[in-house]
Structure 1
Amino acid sequence: MSLSIENVTKKFNQTLALDHINVSIKDSEFIAILGPSGCGKTTLLRTIGGFIQPTSGTIRMDGVVCSDAKTMIPVEQRNLGMVFQSFALWPHMTVRQHVEFPMKSKRQRHISAQEKEKMVDYALKCTGLTALENRLPGELSGGQRQRVALARAIVGKPSVLLMDEPLSALDAELKISMRKEIQDIHKMTGATIVYVTHDQSEAMAMADRIIIMKDGKIEQIGTPKEIYCHPATRFVSTFVSKCNLIKGRWNGDYFQVLNEPIRYHDGEIAPVFHQEGLYPVRPEEIRLVTQGEGIPGVITNKQYNGREIHYSVQYGEDNFTVYTSANEEYEPGQNIKMVIERREAV
């Protein structure tokens, strides 16, 4: 199911939660809404789902108006599933009973009991819960409880699947395995997924496109690669994998580093960086050397991360983040030079 969000605004008293949001979502697309706490991403998700009515603007599903200032199709009449941050499981119900619950709604009354049983069996199989169907939530791990919430959301084969930070309560290793399961479910169901998160790695790993939000507005919409390699705003550049912003002056496509005889050329930097006299560089685009040309700095912090080492480098009043391979070791207090790679130095 395609979604069209047209000029949607939402106010809570005098607080502007959504400010003229416009985005089109294609059928079967996986969209991640990414942003810091309080940016409006959950409000947008709940508005799409019909839990909140927009103050102005229109939301259409397959061209049909489902929400605007005067129209509000009830949640239960929208063909969607919802996965909550808290899992929302009942302690007295087994895994199978949780998955069966949505099939008792009026929307599913045209389906025979035999077909409903097949749909429940399929949802349990998709999420790897068949062997656990008689267990209660208290007998399940965090990842298993999350899979129950997923199975319950997909059992009715919804056209739209809404997810509100579903992995936030899981540990780091479990999050990674659950990402793959969510991707697999997306492929199997073909549902349109709208996924809210404040974790950039989740959005980058799973989504077809990412919506970056800040203060109720959309900062940028694009594929993970577009967002990462070509940030459109200063906020996007620093929020999605910390970007170092080198100060200087632009002269056409050439950037002159402030107080250094170093120039770089790049015609794909967004106009906002030209206007602000900044040159965005990702941590892995900087190579550290002890001799030769480069931006001078001092190592102030070192963090070993297995395959790579993360350094903090002081340059004037600015602190840069640099990622190097594990075999390139420097020590705090050491003077180095920063060389920008994958850029054309002139």
Structure 2
Amino acid sequence: MSNTSQKKFGPAWALKDINLTIAPSEFIAVLGPSGCGKTTLLRSVGGFIEPTDGIIRLNDQIYSGQGHMVAVEDRDLGMVFQSFALWPHMTVREHVEFPMKSKRQKHLSREKKKKAVERVIESLGLAPYADRLPGQLSGGQRQRVALARAIVGRPSILLMDEPLSALDAELKISMRQEIQNIHRRTGATILYVTHDQSEALAMADRILVMREGAIEQIGTPQDMYAHPETEFVASFVSQCNMVKGRWDRQVFKVADCPLVYDGHRVADIFKQKGLYPVRPEQFKIVRGGDGLPATIINKQYNGREIQYSLRCGTDRFTVFAGCDEQFDLGEDVYLIFDV
């Protein structure tokens, strides 16, 4: 699938120069803050809105652009929404049967349609609830119904718009695994919109970070986390400390102390701004040594680790430490860059 498009609402550009090619069966997470254009991009692909300029195509078929605008129901898509969008008067089975009535499925016999419905209901653990209405289901069960309805017709593309945002934290983890299992079973291409960095890092093959309607960076979760290309990406994808100093080619000299860091894999934008990005787990807190002097100003026990907040000059840094690394509030310590 490819998307080269722009979208304008009045004088404002909601999407700017979006140029994206998605490989078959790829899982792309679209990540960004509210108002950055994530949902507009998804709705453009789905056919709910028409791009102001550009082309959206699936393989050789143009969905939008060059005078074409394929209707939503005629696109080879499945959709899962934040609100689940279930009809209160329809049972679980009726919801899953509904997409099989579309003209895209008219080539299938009644028997094959029935088998497809039963197979999906069974695979998502919905068989015991097949005759229940949405009001008789838990949040997780309703989400499974929405997923079953989206995948029963085996669409080429699954569009997911913050599908887990209405669920509690524990249920989100299990539903992430369910979505990953669906991805593996169906082989569908997934375009998954979220503002949750942990969801994107955990599930996606590639992450697309958006800002003000444009693509800020696209890459694997590993690249996005370890090698951010902009200060915005470094700070938005998880947490990041920005150490101040100056660059001498590939060597970073920390401000106000004799420390130097290697910078061979740091993006140029940080060098232009005199910054060095350090993730919270890359700093080690010690009581003595050659490190950045800092003071503990807050600590939070999280079970597997302790999250420390430290004042370092005029900056505030975050450091993740093991539970056996105990430091006191107000204690003066040093931060060692531990990579």
Q: Which residue does the alignment assign to 1:30? A: 27
Q: 2:34 is aligned with what amino acid?
A: S
Superposed displacement of residue 69, structure 1:
5.9
Q: Which residue of 2 aligns with 1:192?
A: 189
Match of 2:64 among 39, 63, 67: 67
Match of 1:5 in 2: 3
The superposition leaves residues 76-128 of structure 1 with CA deviations (integer Å, 9 ceiling, x where unpaired) of 11111000110011111111011011111222222211111001011112211
Paired residue for 2:320?
A: 323
Q: Which whole-Å CA distance do the structure 2 matches of 1:301 and 1:256 have between them?
A: 27
CA offsets per residue over residues 153-199 of structure 1, 9 Å max, x none?
00111010100000000000100000000000011101000000000
| Aligned-partner residue type, residue 42 of structure 1 | T
TM superposition score normalised by structure 2: 0.99
2:80 alignment counterpart: 83
Q: Partner residue of 1:100?
A: 97
Q: In structure 2, what is the Cα distance between the partners aligned to 1:132 and 1:24?
A: 39
Structure 2: gaps (5+ residues): none
**Alpha-carbon distance in 2 for matches of 1:136, 1:326:** 46
Q: CA RMSD in A?
A: 0.8
Q: 5 Å matches for 1:1-346? A: 3-6=1-4, 8-68=5-65, 70-342=67-339
SS in 2 for 1:264: strand
Residue deviations 1:269-290 (CA, integer Å, cap 9, x gap): 0011111110000000000011
Conserved 8 A contact 1:299-1:335: yes
SS state at 2:104 partner: helix
**Contact 1:162–1:195 (Cα < 8 Å) also in 2:** yes
157-166 vs 124-133, which moves further:
124-133
Take 2:304 and 2:189, find their aligned partners in 1: how far apart are those partners?
36
- Unmatched 5+ stretches in structure 1: none
In the alignment, the residues of structure 1 paired with residue 173 and residue 261 of structure 2 have an alpha-carbon distance, to the nearest angstrom, of 37
SS at match of 1:97: helix
- In 2: Cα distance, 1:186 partner to 1:287 partner: 38
- Identify the range of structure 1 (21-30 vs 130-139) with the bigger mean alpha-carbon deviation: 130-139
Amino acid at match of 1:40: G
Q: Please report how far the alpha carbon of residue 245 of structure 1 lies from its aligned counterpart in structure 2 after TM superposition.
A: 0.5
Measured in 2, the distance between the counterparts of 1:254 and 1:107 equals 59
For these two proteins, the number of residue pairs brought into alignment is: 339
Shift, 1:63, TM fit: 2.5
Letter in 2 for 1:140: L
User: C-alpha separation between the residues in 1 aligned to 2:303 and 2:220?
Assistant: 29
Q: For the residues of structure 2 that align with 1:58 and 1:233, how far apart are their CA atoms?
A: 28
Give the SS at the match of 2:191: strand
Give aligned-pair identity as a percent.
Answer: 60
Distance 2:123 2:216 in 1: 36
Counterpart of 1:133, as a letter, is A
CA distance in 2, matches of 1:101, 1:24: 31
Q: 1:63 and 1:309 mapped to 2: Cα distance? A: 52
Q: Which runs of 4+ in 1 moved over 6 A?
A: none
SS of residue paired to 1:152: helix
Question: Aligned with 1:328: secondary structure?
Answer: coil
The one-letter code matched in structure 1 to 2:197 is Q
Q: Matched residues in 1 for 2:55 and 2:231: separation?
A: 29
Shifted more, 166-175 versus 63-72: the winner is 63-72
Question: Hey, what's the Cα distance between the residues in 2 that align with 1:57 and 1:28?
Answer: 24
What code does the residue aligned with 2:2 have? S
Structure 1 CA distance, aligned partners of 2:43 and 2:198?
23
Cα shift readout 1:230-269 (whole Å, capped 9, x = no counterpart): 0011000000011100000000110000111111112000
Q: Which amino acid counterpart does residue 209 of structure 1 have in structure 2? A: R
Distance between the aligned counterparts of 2:180 and 2:122, measured in 1? 15
SS of equivalent residue, structure 2 residue 207 = strand
TM-score normalised to structure 1 length: 0.97
